[in-house]
Amino acid sequence: MPATAKICGLSTPETLDAATTGGASHIGFVFFPPSPRHLSFDKAQGLAARVPGHVARVGVFVDPDDALLDTAIAAGRLDVIQLHKVTPERSAAVKARTGRETWAALAVKTRTDLVSAAGFRGAADRLLYDAKAPEGAKVPGGTGLRFDWNLLDGFAHPLPWILSGGLDAGNVGEAIRVTGAPLVDVSSGIETAPGIKDVDKIAAFLKAVARS
């Protein structure tokens, strides 16, 4: 199966359309105020209405409470919940309560960071391997950092999985070849500045994924 792509942190109609017409399988809306990609519920509602039926809408959260989840799911018409800084127990509770496909993000820097993956078996539908943010960073993802893809070599993935962290049009083909990632996730690699997506970079990234 060829790899597919999630374009994350979208905030304008133009960049959303570039993602959906360019072949993205998933688009991501960020609901986390410290992030430069944070979306208001009103803006999410308008963007969600533009997403065609064959593209899944993913809400990105950092340890959210139930009230935030409920409001964001309604506003963004979310198909998928992506959770950062979450325990398997909380992930399982969100999955059961919302009835939505649930992804749990793992912050990776060393092989040891992969040990916790097994705990999410049954508690999430997919794992998202992302580069570990620097100590003291305000956001857990979207940092433009990548981890050593060779850490995944021979790793027995307990769940379907996604590769994230420092990807762009120039390296995503290699990333897919090295890791065998079935789904790749990009945010900062298609920006001209934090939170400012570029339609040409989105198109180039999706073409690179399609060629892989």
C-alpha pair distances (Å), 7 with each of 2, 92, 161, 164, 174: 16, 25, 16, 11, 18
Q: Where does residue 29 rank: exposed (0-12), middle (13-18), buried (19+ CB within 10 A)?
A: buried
Catalytic residue (one of 63, 130, 168, 200): 130
CA dihedral 11, 15, 18, 20 (to 10 degrees): 0
How far is the C-alpha of 103 from the C-alpha of 56, rounded, in Å? 13
8 is a catalytic site residue: yes
Residue 185 appears among annotated catalytic residues? no
Q: Hey, which residues are catalytic here?
A: 8, 130
